């Protein structure tokens, strides 16, 4: 009976999948012909800088016993406009600037078990396609692009809300990726395993 009660208490404290109810990004290998291809801006596009003070790049991960939000404090981004249409989005994150809700976890996330920021100081994203595709929850576009984390680059496809106004461009999205697709494979302790799913929440504002 005592063993049953312990197991029941343990299960009651388990955290559910952080990706439940979230859009899961489609993740593919980058086509070989494009792997060494440099980013090229069309001659008719205009690049505008993202205002970090009005924007955010965040993640949510979890293990068996707890969820952990992660904020990235240092990064830069750009939006490319072709007339009044968004033609491209890119950003570069300084991974050493990450901060979780626990000081010890923050230090652990930076070491070789997770992001190994000494060897892989940046994470980047560069869009390769932005197609109008209205959907639920205000979604206006499908975005495809190359996401690099821990030196591993994958092509990801996800829905986003993009709005172009006279004074600013705003883009936002939330989707789930599998950390193992990007070489983050640390399992966690046997009694407190790390979930594979990670939720990325991105909101970018670029004043015109």
pLDDT, position 36: 59
pLDDT, position 32: 79
- Listed in sequence order, the residues at least 6 apart from 206 whose beta carbon sits closer than 8 Å to its beta carbon are 48, 49, 50, 51, 77, 78, 79, 168, 169, 170
Token pair 């996800």 is found at: 158
29's tokens: 């290998």
The residue ranges of DSSP E strands in the chain, in sequence order, are 26-29, 46-49, 56-62, 67-72, 75-82, 85-94, 98-100, 122-132, 141-149, 152-164, 168-178, 188-189, 192-193, 197-207
Q: The domain 15-207: what is its CATH number? A: 2.40.128.110
Using one digit for the tens of pLDDT, what is the confidence trace for 158-208? 999 999 999 999 999 999 999 999 999 999 999 899 999 999 999 999 999
For the four alpha carbons of 114, 29, 25 and 98, in that order, the dihedral sign comes to: positive
pLDDT, position 11: 42
pLDDT above 80: residue 152: yes
Using one digit for the tens of pLDDT, what is the confidence trace for 121-143? 999 999 999 999 999 889 999 99
- Listed in sequence order, the residues at least 6 apart from 40 whose beta carbon sits closer than 8 Å to its beta carbon are none
Using one digit for the tens of pLDDT, what is the confidence trace for 21-76? 999 999 999 987 786 565 565 568 899 999 999 999 999 999 999 999 999 999 99
Q: Are 69 and 58 in contact (CB under 8 A)?
A: yes
**DSSP secondary structure, 67-86, as one string:** EEEEEE-SEEEEEEEETTEE
151's tokens: 């030196």
User: In terms of Cα–Cα distance, which of 56, 100, 97 is closest to 74?
Assistant: 97
pTM: 0.89
């Amino acid at each position: 009976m005592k063993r049953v009660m312990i197991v029941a208490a343990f299960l009651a404290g388990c955290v559910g999948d952080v990706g439940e109810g979230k859009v899961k990004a489609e993740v593919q290998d980058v086509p070989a012909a494009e792997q060494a291809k440099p980013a090229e801006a069309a001659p008719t596009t205009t690049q505008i800088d993202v205002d970090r003070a009005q924007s955010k790049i965040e993640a949510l991960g979890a293990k068996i016993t707890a969820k952990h939000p992660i904020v990235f404090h240092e990064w830069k981004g750009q939006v490319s406009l072709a007339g009044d249409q968004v033609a491209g989005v890119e950003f570069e994150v300084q991974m050493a600037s990450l901060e979780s809700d626990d000081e010890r976890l923050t230090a652990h996330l930076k070491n070789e078990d997770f992001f190994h920021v000494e060897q892989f100081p940046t994470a980047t994203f560069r869009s390769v396609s932005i197609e109008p595709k209205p959907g639920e929850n205000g979604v206006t576009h499908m975005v495809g692009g190359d996401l690099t984390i821990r030196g591993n680059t994958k092509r990801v496809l996800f829905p986003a809300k993009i709005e172009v106004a006279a004074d600013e461009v705003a883009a936002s999205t939330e989707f789930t990726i599998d950390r193992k697709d990007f070489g983050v494979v640390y399992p966690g302790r046997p009694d407190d395993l790390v979930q594979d799913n990670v939720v990325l929440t991105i909101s970018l504002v670029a004043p015109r």
